[in-house]
Amino acid sequence: MLLDKIWSRGKEFLGVDYPIISGGMTWISNYELVRAVCDAGAFGVLAAGNMPPDALENQIDKCIDNIKSPFAVNLITIAPNYMVHYEIVKSKKVPFVIFAGSFPKNPEITGMKESGKKTISFASEKSIAERQISYGIDGLILEGSEAGGHIGHVSLMVLLQQVLFGINDFPIFVAGGLGTGRAMAHLLLMGAYGCQFGTRFVMSDECTAHPNFKKVFLKAKAREAISTPQYDSKLHVVSVRAIKNRAMEEFGRLQLSLLKKLETGEINHEKAQYEVESFWVGSLRKAVVDGDIESGSLMAGQSVGLMNDIKPIKKIISDLTEEAETELIKVRSKLL
């Protein structure tokens, strides 16, 4: 297979058969999904989100006890429970840690590496990628603004040219708006070590998200997955991409309310930021676990417009690899 050569570096870095990463999605990327992805030969990621510490520890222990191939735990650096989560993960025999939400500090990366873990972080622009590398991060994920959940402001197309083409001989994976093996083939040709898919894995039989949540994804168009605005720099808001519904409107009203309270001194900045992050954690659970698709958050990437079926994870992986191999054969025929 042509794929064997082109993604060999990604396979070696992750220690899996297929350098296809299942993105860490809060309330979605649980033990069941991680195990199914790993059993299919790809790379599963357990999402910590803002999970109660004892629940996270339980999920990690299940992964360690039952998954024999490498996996990662995704830590949200802006989550209220982040530092507690950090210490739990640091104490466990977790092969990889992926920092998400914002960007980890130098000591946080060093601490995980000293505990024997490989570290990966997201990069939403070139300067951030270079800073993370200078801190000693082992790998990067370039995630374009097309992705679901917490996102940066730059599209994957630009990030590829700024970062992937500008940084040589370093493990860089790509994410954001991906849904097909054909796209994966071309990204590998560009130099990516592998690809991360999120929305695609939501649409799997093994994903335990509520059926109502999946039904919305089946019907949604790409343009319906929109990002939240930041109304004022006084209140830092990491943009979140989700399918537009009542929860998106409620978040806008929450921002305006918190800004007024900051202005009058009714609330301090730390408390306001906590309210912002708590909103998404709580509303996402409403949608994913309870099936409340109106007041719950429907986090999804723009690749939701490419989703038209729900199928087993092994089928998802085989379809992606077969599509990619077919595309590489077509490319080779055009070049010879």
Domains and CATH numbers, the chain: 2-209+306-335 (3.20.20.70), 211-288 (no CATH)
Residue 156 pLDDT exceeds 90: yes
Mean pLDDT (whole number) for 186-198:
98
Mean pLDDT (whole number) for 193-212:
97
Distance from C-alpha of 93 to C-alpha of 315, rounded to nearest angstrom: 30
**CA torsion through residues 4, 10, 11, 16, sign:** negative
Which residues have C-beta within 8 Å of that of residue 172, sequence separation ≥ 6?
Answer: 139, 140, 141, 142, 163, 164, 191, 192, 193
Mean pLDDT (whole number) for 2-31:
97
Distance from C-alpha of 312 to C-alpha of 294, rounded to nearest angstrom: 27
Distance from C-alpha of 33 to C-alpha of 209, rounded to nearest angstrom: 10
DSSP state of 163: I
Residue 236 pLDDT exceeds 80: no
pLDDT of residue 67: 98
pLDDT tier, 106 (very low <50, low <70, confident <90, very high otherwise): very high
More confident residue, 128 or 102: 128
pLDDT of residue 151: 87
Mean pLDDT (whole number) for 15-22:
98
User: Would you say 325 and 2 are in contact if contact means Cβ atoms under 8 Å apart?
Assistant: yes
pLDDT of residue 153: 86
**Which of 195-209, 217-231, 274-288 has the least mean pLDDT?**
274-288
Residue 266 exposed, middle or buried by CB count within 10 Å (0-12, 13-18, 19+): exposed
pLDDT tier, 123 (very low <50, low <70, confident <90, very high otherwise): very high
pLDDT of residue 240: 85
Q: In what order do the strands lie in the sheet with 96-100?
A: 20-22, 194-197, 172-175, 139-143, 118-123, 96-100, 72-76, 45-47
- Per cent of the chain over pLDDT 90 is 82
pLDDT tier, 235 (very low <50, low <70, confident <90, very high otherwise): confident
**Which of 66-70, 133-137, 148-152, 290-294 has the least mean pLDDT?**
148-152
pTM beyond 0.85: yes
Residue 150 pLDDT exceeds 90: no
pLDDT in tens, 278-312: 787 788 899 999 999 999 999 999 999 999 999 99
Mean pLDDT (whole number) for 90-115:
96
Residue given tokens 């374009």 in the structure block: 144
pLDDT tier, 232 (very low <50, low <70, confident <90, very high otherwise): confident
Strands 240-243, 225-227: parallel, antiparallel or unpaired by DSSP?
antiparallel
Mean pLDDT (whole number) for 78-102:
94
pLDDT in tens, 27-61: 999 999 999 999 999 999 999 998 999 999 999 99
Q: Looking only at Cα atoms, what is the longest distance across the chain? A: 69
Q: What's the mean pLDDT when you consider all of the chain?
A: 94
pLDDT of residue 174: 98
**Which of 64-68, 225-229, 302-306 has the least mean pLDDT?**
225-229
pLDDT of residue 41: 98
